[in-house]
Amino acid sequence: MAEQYMSMATLKYMLYDVHQLTKLSAYPRFSEYDDNATNMFLDSVKAFCDKECFPYIKEMDEKPVQYKDGKVVVHPQVQTVMKKAGELGLIGSSFDYEQGGLQLPSMMNQAAYFMIDAANNHVSGYAGLTSGAAGLIMAFGSPELKDTYVPNMIAGEWGGTMCLTEPQAGSSLSDITTTAYPTEHGYYHIKGQKIWISGGDNHFTENIVHLLLARIEGAPAGTKGISLFVVPKNRPTGDGGLTPNGVFTAGDFQKLGQRGYATTHLVFGETECRGFLVGEPHKGLTYMFQMMNGARISVGRHGVSIATAAYYASLQYAHERPQGRRLSDGGKKDLTQGQTLIINHPDIRRMLLLQKAISEGTLSLILQTARYHDMEKVATTDEEREENHLLLEILTPIAKTYPSEMGQVSVSNGVQILGGMGYSAETILQQYYRDIRILAIYEGTTGIQSLDLLARKVTMEDSKALKLLMREIKTTIQTASGHDELKQYAEVLSAKLALNKDILTFLAPFAIKGNYERYLSDATIYMQYLGTVVMGWQWLKIALTAQEALKKSDAKYNADFYNSQIHTMKFFYKYEMPKTDGFAETIKNSDELNIVSEKEMIF
Amino acid sequence: MAEQYMSMATLKYMLYDVHQLTKLSAYPRFSEYDDNATNMFLDSVKAFCDKECFPYIKEMDEKPVQYKDGKVVVHPQVQTVMKKAGELGLIGSSFDYEQGGLQLPSMMNQAAYFMIDAANNHVSGYAGLTSGAAGLIMAFGSPELKDTYVPNMIAGEWGGTMCLTEPQAGSSLSDITTTAYPTEHGYYHIKGQKIWISGGDNHFTENIVHLLLARIEGAPAGTKGISLFVVPKNRPTGDGGLTPNGVFTAGDFQKLGQRGYATTHLVFGETECRGFLVGEPHKGLTYMFQMMNGARISVGRHGVSIATAAYYASLQYAHERPQGRRLSDGGKKDLTQGQTLIINHPDIRRMLLLQKAISEGTLSLILQTARYHDMEKVATTDEEREENHLLLEILTPIAKTYPSEMGQVSVSNGVQILGGMGYSAETILQQYYRDIRILAIYEGTTGIQSLDLLARKVTMEDSKALKLLMREIKTTIQTASGHDELKQYAEVLSAKLALNKDILTFLAPFAIKGNYERYLSDATIYMQYLGTVVMGWQWLKIALTAQEALKKSDAKYNADFYNSQIHTMKFFYKYEMPKTDGFAETIKNSDELNIVSEKEMIF
């Protein structure tokens, strides 16, 4: 059977060969995860995806979430998926054994969710957010909060959300006004509204546990006055029962895509609504960032997954659809011959290769990021821990943004391959095209991520994160340079690192002079620059792994597989890397055109 | 009132100032179109758009075309629009006075349809295709065909379509199999199927006149055996009545967007279906190209229009939505101040400027193309006629493709400006995002247009069309160079013309050696290159017009208006023109990666 939404062979190549998953099992935390255990786990997740997720993706779009009589009615399969995800251990997968988790490496966790997202991006968020919310309680909550909420969440019985956005405060968390009023009982009374809450309600789950940002009455203005609360839809009564907790669902947003995934408007405190403080007061945003950082990488991984599912849908069509003829030498078409399959036309091939380059390159990027996360956890020295932490930090906005943005381009190319058929509601491509569009908005828009990258991550700790990233890239360049077949690509990448320095040298004086608005005015273009360079690094690494395997006699895959990886790397270097020169030229252009100036009336 | 979907001031600036519409009135054909007449016409079309088109755009998406009991049920407003469009003369607008037309310049016609498309891209196609079909009969049909069909069509009473695509022959017209069997009565019996037929049926129109490509039984293979027929849904009985003509509607495709615009599957000849030959046998494709060329420019104009409507929707939101604060010098946010409007954030401003640059620059491109069309018509010498014809020919694939492709990018930026709200079904942005996606597929995909550009248009008549285009661009460069404020941009554009020569010098040897597949393998990237350069030309022309007006004491607009044009030109040169270097680098890269090679198994 042709691959329908992802390739296990490619995933395993990325995990085991490019990113050396099994080396993690040398560390005590991951000692149970040898090849055999990880393969079994991956296969069981794939079976779950094939049976419970992929068959429902189109139906969930066609029969979207409905808001009826105050209830959010979701597709019945969501319940099954949550339950099975709980049974498979996917919701508490990264938790310690003693917390009821699988102590799964982050790389494996990303691999598992990559499969689920690719099979059905409408269901995976329910489980993913529940996992993130439980993780937040586990990290910062009191023993009582942990005992009360986490077991049911990781079993897939209760849902979880993150409640940040308010109607008057979208990207600007400084301005949230939801308030927590202290009571003498230790808990707080919550009053306020939250919008765009993913998985915020559904008709079947017994309980949903909201991790909510609010200000304790009288707290300082801005982000330093924000605290984190557990606010359940129904609060446990202590005798095993539940009672409504004043969380009212005011509506469900109908959306362009991800129509099977509820996006709710919640009103807290019209009747008594108790909130339970997590950790210390006024430190909520710091705590929430743990979940947000995870969620940002998850959004990037969603981009990888949807782009991958779209790639396999287009590939299948291109392999089956006859249309037109190849141009013979001399330019004549031979009409006595039957039509050729469209995969043989250069422009179709170019679009498929773009899809492949984006899909597989971004998968590698997500696993790279996860690897730093794992290494941070198992690091044996403080320095090693810090280095891996900083690498995770600087890659997070890129891992969120590049797959979200270029994933759209990739899926759009997928639609184009099908021509009119791609635009028809009959085919899945148009759905992926709609589904993927939200990712550049979720969890901090591309603009916000770009500010995070250039304002915070590039400069943090005297640019240490950036220097470490450059060191990592240079290591790959150096090894690749030892192979005649890869040398020229390694040189291109090396030149891009030098150009990165030029760009930052151009920008730095603005920051030094305190003109941060100008320093950051083209942050999004810088994100495009560095994102493409980082992808160039990943492709060189993928090709290097393939090149080394080709020289072995006992390689796991056949030569075609490895050559295909090298071919796709060359494609990325021919069609994508040259864009970086344009981005650099734009950033280094001193015309200031997008900063408000008093004398200009542009619009 | 803020502009809702287009700006009349901008349209008039492009028409009268940049493209000198009124100069056309010096020619007898257009002598009635002085400023007064054209202004009155534009205002009447705008009133029609405000009243009959724009108020229905969202509803037509939400209540899409339905196929019920063999009938295609469209939104009732379609009938009103067709009737009023007929009354306003919009369907036969470009026809001669003696043909019942308005003898309208093509520039005016494009301006009128730009407004209609921008107001409601779901209704405009019904009128536009009817106009094109009537024009084809008028150009090549017998007097009887003209008398029988055209008057009802241009009155908006009967619809018209173009029937090319068949299930087994999408982009490949060589392979169509619909057959016309000669009869002794002069007419033919038609048998076959056509798919993706826009406006192919509806429940209210008395008659629909299909302009259909078919092979006369025994005709030669390939495109040289294709003939053109008039095939009415109901054929006139000669006594003023109509009788069904064996055209059966088998279905209506549900689509990602343009859901109010019917896309039908038609079956011809299950019962007697008479077709009436247009012109000579086997010349059908040549005739059809008249309509197709017009339709291609119309598709490009649709791209301009949807991008423009999206721009004004985003602009309005950005002017009204407070969120966050500007970064002060020193980088601190002043939380005691209220939130700023998002239009003041550099990244939002950048996206709005991109929308403005694409929307207004492509409007200029469409009018430029229409101007060559007009000049071809009124030319007083053969040479002048040929030159304008060649300029129209080479710009047609670009005018179709650039707005279709970059229009998508522009609308996607518009969605992004609204954040989560842009993804919500409540707002119109998500609809424009879906609507515009079809344009890169309609009337020859981007891949097909790119082959047309590089294989045919660039090389035709010893590259005369290309040389003429370069001459036109150089004229603008030369005049702009005389202004200190524009000199540097003129120099950039000049360098891009030199780079164009380099690219073609690199590619030419492949064509000379007969390796056309390789010559054309990156045709789509060349389209991106030349499209961006041509847009750079349009922006320089727009800015030049503004710069000259700023020096006059009696200019029509205020200085802010002109400065805004110059600002947007600079934006295009900072953010879009640098991309051309990447495109050139890609094309000149000698790795051959998207051509089938026997030894490679890439996918």
Chain B closest-CA separation from residue A353 CA (Å): 8
**Residue A387 maps to a domain:** no
Amino acid at A463: S
| Touching B: A residues 407-426, CB under 8 Å | 408, 412, 415-416, 419-420, 422-426
- Single residue among A235, A262, A287 that ends a domain in this structure: A287
Question: Domain check: are B105 and B178 in the same one?
Answer: no
Q: Is B602 in Cβ contact with A564 (below 8 Å)? A: yes
Residue of A nearest to B321 (CA): A168
**In the predicted model, what is the mean pLDDT of residues A382-394?**
98
Q: How many domains does chain A have?
A: 3
CATH code, domain carrying A247: 2.40.110.20
* % pLDDT > 70, chain B: 100
* Residue of A166, A437, A524, A570 for testing the chain B interface, max B β-carbons within 10 Å: A437
**In the predicted model, what is the mean pLDDT of residues A254-283?**
97
**Residue A58 maps to a domain:** yes
**In the predicted model, what is the mean pLDDT of residues A495-505?**
98
The alpha-carbon radius of gyration of chain B (Å, integer) is: 25
Query: A461 an active-site residue?
Result: no
**Per-residue pLDDT, A509:** 97
Query: By mean pLDDT, which of A281-295, A409-423, B7-21, B579-593 is the weakest?
Result: A281-295
Question: Domain check: are B117 and B233 in the same one?
Answer: no
Contact A243, A235 (CB under 8 A): yes
Residue among B379, B407, B375 nearest B392 (CA): B375
- Torsion of Cα atoms, A327 then A328 then A333 then A339, to 10°: -70
**Residue A473 maps to a domain:** yes
**Residue A302 maps to a domain:** no
Please tell me which of the candidates A172, A322, A353 has its beta carbon nearest to residue B593.
A353
B165 CB neighbours in chain A (<8 A) are 420
Q: Is B344 in Cβ contact with A596 (below 8 Å)? A: yes
Count each helix (H run) and each strand (E run) in chain B, helices first.
19, 12
Q: Is B419 in Cβ contact with A256 (below 8 Å)? A: no
CB-based contact, B176 to chain A, within 8 Å: no
* % pLDDT > 90, chain A: 92
Question: Domain check: are B37 and B58 in the same one?
Answer: yes
Report residue A9 as tokens: 């062979």
Report residue A438 as tokens: 């939200």
**In the predicted model, what is the mean pLDDT of residues A477-502?**
98
Q: What's the pLDDT band for B518 if we cut at 50, 70, 90?
A: very high
**Per-residue pLDDT, B327:** 84
CB-based contact, B283 to chain A, within 8 Å: no
B61 CB neighbours in chain A (<8 A) are none
Q: Is A585 in Cβ contact with B593 (below 8 Å)? A: no
Distances (CA, A) of A389 to A165, A368, A394, A457: 27, 13, 9, 12
- What is the C-alpha separation between A189 and A167, in angstroms, rounded? 20
Question: Domain check: are B201 and B237 in the same one?
Answer: yes
Q: Residue B329: is its pLDDT beyond 80?
A: no
Q: What's the pLDDT band for B291 if we cut at 50, 70, 90?
A: confident
Q: Residue B305: is its pLDDT beyond 60?
A: yes
A583 CB neighbours in chain B (<8 A) are 578
Q: What's the pLDDT band for B597 if we cut at 50, 70, 90?
A: confident
**Per-residue pLDDT, A337:** 81
Residue B452: partners with Cβ closer than 8 Å, 6 or more residues away: B397, B444
Q: What's the pLDDT band for A338 if we cut at 50, 70, 90?
A: confident
A196 CB neighbours in chain B (<8 A) are 420
**In the predicted model, what is the mean pLDDT of residues A373-385?**
97
- What is the C-alpha separation between B117 and B308, in angstroms, rounded? 10
ipTM > 0.85 for the complex: yes
Residue A214: partners with Cβ closer than 8 Å, 6 or more residues away: A176, A178, A179, A180, A188, A190, A192, A226, A227, A229, A275, A284
**Per-residue pLDDT, A60:** 98
Distances (CA, A) of B450 to A126, B364, B456, B493, B504: 44, 21, 10, 22, 14
* Residue of B168, B486, B517, B563 for testing the chain A interface, max A β-carbons within 10 Å: B517
Question: Domain check: are B182 and B109 in the same one?
Answer: no
Question: Domain check: are B233 and B186 in the same one?
Answer: yes
Contact B355, A545 (CB under 8 A): no
Q: Is B352 in Cβ contact with A560 (below 8 Å)? A: no
Q: What's the pLDDT band for A2 if we cut at 50, 70, 90?
A: confident
Please tell me which of the candidates B175, B331, B524 has its beta carbon nearest to residue A514.
B331
**Per-residue pLDDT, A238:** 87
**Per-residue pLDDT, B238:** 87
Distances (CA, A) of A379 to A21, A29, A103, A290, A413: 15, 11, 15, 19, 41
Amino acid at B123: V
Q: Residue A285: is its pLDDT beyond 80?
A: yes
Query: By mean pLDDT, which of A41-50, A314-323, A324-333, A575-584 is the weakest?
Result: A324-333
- Single residue among B154, B176, B203 that ends a domain in this structure: B154
Q: Is B446 in Cβ contact with A416 (below 8 Å)? A: yes
Active-site choice (A52, A387, A393, A443): A443
pTM here is: 0.97
Question: Domain check: are B584 and B451 in the same one?
Answer: yes
Chain A closest-CA separation from residue B581 CA (Å): 7
| Touching B: A residues 369-398, CB under 8 Å | none
Please tell me which of the candidates B346, B441, B520 has its beta carbon nearest to residue A595.
B346
Q: Which residues of B are catalytic?
A: 443
Residue of A nearest to B257 (CA): A423
Q: Is B563 in Cβ contact with A601 (below 8 Å)? A: yes
Please tell me which of the candidates B339, B353, B420 has its beta carbon nearest to residue A593.
B353
* % pLDDT > 70, chain A: 100
Chain B closest-CA separation from residue A328 CA (Å): 7
**In the predicted model, what is the mean pLDDT of residues A472-493?**
98
CATH code, domain carrying A122: 1.10.540.10
**Per-residue pLDDT, A600:** 74
Summarised one tens digit per residue, pLDDT across range A591-600 is 999 999 877 7
Amino acid at A295: A
* Neighbour count for residue B592 (Cβ, 10 Å): 14
Q: Is B594 in Cβ contact with A350 (below 8 Å)? A: yes
Phi, psi of A166 (to 5 degrees): -125, 160
**Residue B603 maps to a domain:** no
**Residue B107 maps to a domain:** yes
Please tell me which of the candidates B174, B347, B570 has its beta carbon nearest to residue A335.
B174
Summarised one tens digit per residue, pLDDT across range B435-444 is 999 999 999 9
Summarised one tens digit per residue, pLDDT across range A166-223 is 988 877 888 899 999 999 999 999 999 999 999 999 999 999 999 999 999 999 999 9
**Per-residue pLDDT, A105:** 97
* Residue of B574, B588, B595 for testing the chain A interface, max A β-carbons within 10 Å: B574
**In the predicted model, what is the mean pLDDT of residues B501-525?**
97
Distances (CA, A) of B376 to B109, B372, B469: 15, 6, 15
Question: Domain check: are A123 and A53 in the same one?
Answer: yes
- Single residue among B282, B317, B343 that ends a domain in this structure: B282
Question: Domain check: are A199 and A127 in the same one?
Answer: no
Q: Residue B1: is its pLDDT beyond 80?
A: no
Q: What's the pLDDT band for B564 if we cut at 50, 70, 90?
A: very high
**In the predicted model, what is the mean pLDDT of residues B212-234?**
96
Question: Domain check: are B143 and B163 in the same one?
Answer: no
Q: What's the pLDDT band for B555 if we cut at 50, 70, 90?
A: confident
**Residue A310 maps to a domain:** no
Residue A583: partners with Cβ closer than 8 Å, 6 or more residues away: A525, A526, A528, A529, A532, B578
**In the predicted model, what is the mean pLDDT of residues A400-410?**
98
Q: Residue A452: is its pLDDT beyond 60?
A: yes
Q: What's the pLDDT band for A577 if we cut at 50, 70, 90?
A: very high
* Neighbour count for residue B26 (Cβ, 10 Å): 9
Question: Domain check: are B128 and B194 in the same one?
Answer: no
* Residue of B7, B173, B350 for testing the chain A interface, max A β-carbons within 10 Å: B350
Q: Is B315 in Cβ contact with A174 (below 8 Å)? A: no
List the domain range (segments joined by +) for residue B589.
446-593
Q: What's the pLDDT band for B140 if we cut at 50, 70, 90?
A: very high
Per DSSP, B74 falls in state -
What's the mean pLDDT when you consider all of chain B?
A: 96
Question: Domain check: are A118 and A212 in the same one?
Answer: no
**Residue A494 maps to a domain:** yes
* Cα four-point dihedral sign A105, A111, A114, A119: negative
Summarised one tens digit per residue, pLDDT across range A87-132 is 999 999 999 999 999 999 999 999 999 999 999 999 999 999 999 9
Task: Count how many Cα atoms sit within 13 Å of the Cα of residue A340 in the half-sphere of its side chain.
Answer: 15
CB-based contact, B330 to chain A, within 8 Å: yes
